[in-house]
Structure 1
Amino acid sequence: MDKRNEFLGIFSEHIHTLLNKIEIPFDELQEIRMRINQPIIFILNGQENYLGKDGILTKELNQAYRIEKRELYETLEHISSYSRYAFEDEIRQGFITISGGHRVGLAGKVTVESGQIKTIHYISFLNIRFTHEVKGCADGVLPYLYEGGNVLHTMVISPPGCGKTTLLRDLIRQISTGNKIGEAKTVGVVDERSEIAGSYMGIPQNDVGIRTDVLDNCPKAEGMFMLIRSMSPKVIAVDEIGSLEDIKAIETACYSGCKIIATVHGNSLEDIKRKNIFQKLIENKMFERFIVLSAKYKVGEIEGIYNQQGVLIC
Structure 2
Amino acid sequence: MENILALLPKTISGKIQELPTPIQDSLEEIRIRISRPLEVIARNEPLFLPYIVKEEDAEQFMNRIANHSFYTLDEELKKGYITVDGGHRVGLAGKVILENGYVKAIRNLSSFNIRIAKEKIGVAENFIPYLYQNRWHHTMIIGPPQTGKTTYLRDIARLISTGLKDKHIPPMKVGIVDERSEIAGCVRGVPQLQFGPRVDILDACPKAEGMMMMIRSMSPDVLIVDEIGREEDSTAIMEAINAGIILVMTTHGNSLEEIQKRPILKEILQLEVFERYIELSRMNGPGTIKKIRDGRGKELTFKAGVST
Which residue of 130, 136, 155 corresponds with 1:144? Answer: 130
Equivalent residue number for residue 40 of structure 2: 42
- The separation in 2 between residues aligned to 1:144 and 1:35, in whole angstroms, is 43
Quick check: 1:89 aligned with 2:75? yes
- The separation in 1 between residues aligned to 2:4 and 2:287, in whole angstroms, is 26
Q: How has the CA–CA distance of structure 1 residues 283 and 16 changed in structure 2, closer, same or farther, with 3 Å as cutoff?
A: closer
What is the identity, as a one-letter code, of the residue corresponding to 2:155? D
Q: How has the CA–CA distance of structure 1 residues 21 and 290 changed in structure 2, closer, same or farther, with 3 Å as cutoff?
A: closer
Per-residue CA shift, 1:51-85, capped at 9, x if unaligned?
3xxxxxxxxxxxx2101112111111111221121
Question: Superposed, which structure 2 residues align to 1:9-158 within 5 Å?
Answer: 9-19=6-16, 21-22=18-19, 25=22, 26-51=24-49, 64-148=50-134, 150-158=135-143
Question: Superposed, which structure 2 residues align to 1:88-237 within 5 Å?
Answer: 88-148=74-134, 150-179=135-164, 180=167, 182-237=169-224
Query: SS of 1:151's equivalent?
Result: coil
What is the identity, as a one-letter code, of the residue corresponding to 1:8? L
Give the conservation status (yes or no) of the 8 Å contact 2:34–2:55: yes
Deviation at 1:303, TM superposition (A): 1.3
Deviation at 1:279, TM superposition (A): 2.2
Q: How has the CA–CA distance of structure 1 residues 260 and 79 changed in structure 2, closer, same or farther, with 3 Å as cutoff?
A: same
Quick check: 1:283 aligned with 2:280? no
What is the identity, as a one-letter code, of the residue corresponding to 1:224? M
Deviation at 1:96, TM superposition (A): 0.6
The count of residues paired between Structure 1 and Structure 2 equals 298
Equivalent residue number for residue 305 of structure 2: none
- The separation in 2 between residues aligned to 1:298 and 1:21, in whole angstroms, is 24
Q: How has the CA–CA distance of structure 1 residues 270 and 21 changed in structure 2, closer, same or farther, with 3 Å as cutoff?
A: closer
Give the conservation status (yes or no) of the 8 Å contact 1:142–1:181: no
- The separation in 2 between residues aligned to 1:71 and 1:284, in whole angstroms, is 50
Give the conservation status (yes or no) of the 8 Å contact 2:43–2:285: no
Q: How has the CA–CA distance of structure 1 residues 154 and 70 changed in structure 2, closer, same or farther, with 3 Å as cutoff?
A: same
What is the identity, as a one-letter code, of the residue corresponding to 2:197? I
Which segments of structure 1 move beyond 6 Å, counting only runs of 4 or more?
A: none
Deviation at 1:24, TM superposition (A): 5.1
- The separation in 2 between residues aligned to 1:136 and 1:7, in whole angstroms, is 24
Query: SS of 1:162's equivalent?
Result: coil
- The separation in 2 between residues aligned to 1:240 and 1:177, in whole angstroms, is 24
- The separation in 2 between residues aligned to 1:158 and 1:19, in whole angstroms, is 29
Give the conservation status (yes or no) of the 8 Å contact 1:110–1:117: yes
- Identical aligned residues as a percent: 44
Give the conservation status (yes or no) of the 8 Å contact 2:89–2:182: yes
Q: How has the CA–CA distance of structure 1 residues 288 and 78 changed in structure 2, closer, same or farther, with 3 Å as cutoff?
A: same
Greater Cα shift, 273-282 or 92-101:
273-282
- The separation in 2 between residues aligned to 1:14 and 1:312, in whole angstroms, is 50
List runs of 5+ in structure 1 lacking aligned partners. 52-63
- The separation in 2 between residues aligned to 1:127 and 1:68, in whole angstroms, is 16
What's the TM-score, normalizing by structure 1?
0.90
